[in-house]
Homo-oligomer: A and B are copies of this chain.
Amino acid sequence: MPSQIDWVAVDWGTSNLRAWALDSGGSVVESRSSPEGMGRLTREQYPGVLASLLSDLADPADVLICGMAGARQGWLEAPYLDAPADLTTLERAAVSPEMPGSRLAPRILPGVCQRDIGAEDVMRGEETQLLGLSALLPGFEGLVVMPGTHSKWARLSGTRLERFSTAMTGELFELLRTQSVLRHSFTGDLEGEDREVGFERGIELGIDRPERLTATLFKVRAGALLSDRSSAWCAGFMSGLLIGAEIGGQRDWVPGAGEVPLVGNVSLCALYQQAFARLGMQTRIVDATDATLAGLKAARQG
């Protein structure tokens, strides 16, 4: 006999929708995902997409959602909490979109914003991962780095988010790789063995000279033209430059000692781990999905 489903945890991001059905002990009974992220939905489509994703699940009424579904351009805006923020209050600030004719009672958690002039910033989804991290690493205080399309650097103190900053590293990499003049340097195999050599060179230059990024990026093209650098070398070099500049430019956030948690895609986090190692920093990789699920559970018990 299958376990009774108690509630459903949902991560509704820009490009993906993932759901986990949990029993009353917090164990995952079922999980599913769909590409119907915020980016391809109109407001009116959300109820139908959620109902369809969960249609074969027996009982669950309680659905707790984090991520972009709560954005202004999402399903229903869940106004930001202001940083510094106590993340145990996320659930209290959730909004409840209507699902006419459905048993489902969805609630969407808010994101967190930072309004200080000159440090304005926003997050949606990462606040839930940070709450999850505080549950996975009880009592942790310090810098958390969340590599991704929009990397977040956050100062966490237990369940309190002190401040944070976003770097557009992942998005810049994709734009430059596919849309810029540098794309001509990426026409071959990007995964060859000298990707690592290029990455090491890029990390070094990025960390040492983050202020030169708009100039060092052009070295990708010049290196391909003048030194016959392979596409793999160029991809590694550009990735290293961008990750290195993100870290080098925010060195004043990096603590002198202790372990920095890296929350994100595991293989991307491994690149950041390599970069932080150049600064003599220990890191610990936490899979983003684990952090999200832990965060949704912690929010519901908040």
Residues of A within 8 A of B (CB): 72-73, 80, 113-115, 118, 120-122, 150, 165-169, 171-172, 175-176, 179-181, 184, 205, 209-215, 217-219, 221-223, 225-227, 242, 245-246, 248-250
Q: Hey, which chain B residues are within 8 Å of A222, CB to CB?
A: 113-114, 120-122, 166
B168, A180: Cβ atoms under 8 Å?
Answer: yes
Copies of the polypeptide in the assembly? 2
Nearest residue in B to A172 (C-beta to C-beta)?
Answer: B214
Which chain B residues lie closer than 8 Å to A181 at the CB level? Answer: 150, 168, 171
Instruction: Determine whether the beta carbon of A250 is less than 8 Å from that of B215.
Output: yes
Q: Is the CB of A168 within 8 A of B211?
A: no
Residues of B within 8 A of A120 (CB): 219, 222-223, 226-227
Cβ–Cβ contact A249 & B213, under 8 A: yes
Q: Tell me how far the C-beta of A32 lies from the nearest C-beta in chain B, rounded to whole angstroms.
A: 27
A215 with B118, Cβ < 8 A, contacts A113-B226, A171-B181, A179-B179 known: no
Partner of A226, one of B122, B150, B175: B122
Known: A172-B180, A210-B211, A214-B242. 7 other contacts (CB 8 A): A73-B184, A115-B227, A120-B226, A121-B218, A122-B221, A165-B215, A179-B179
Q: Which of B150, B205, B245 contacts A211 (CB 8 A)?
A: B245
| Contact A179/B175 with A120-B219, A226-B122 known, Cβ cut-off 8 Å | yes
Residues of B within 8 A of A221 (CB): 122
B-chain residues with CB within 8 Å of residue A172 when the two chains form the complex: 180, 214
A259 CA / B215 CA spacing, docked (Å)? 23
CB–CB A167/B214 < 8 A:
yes
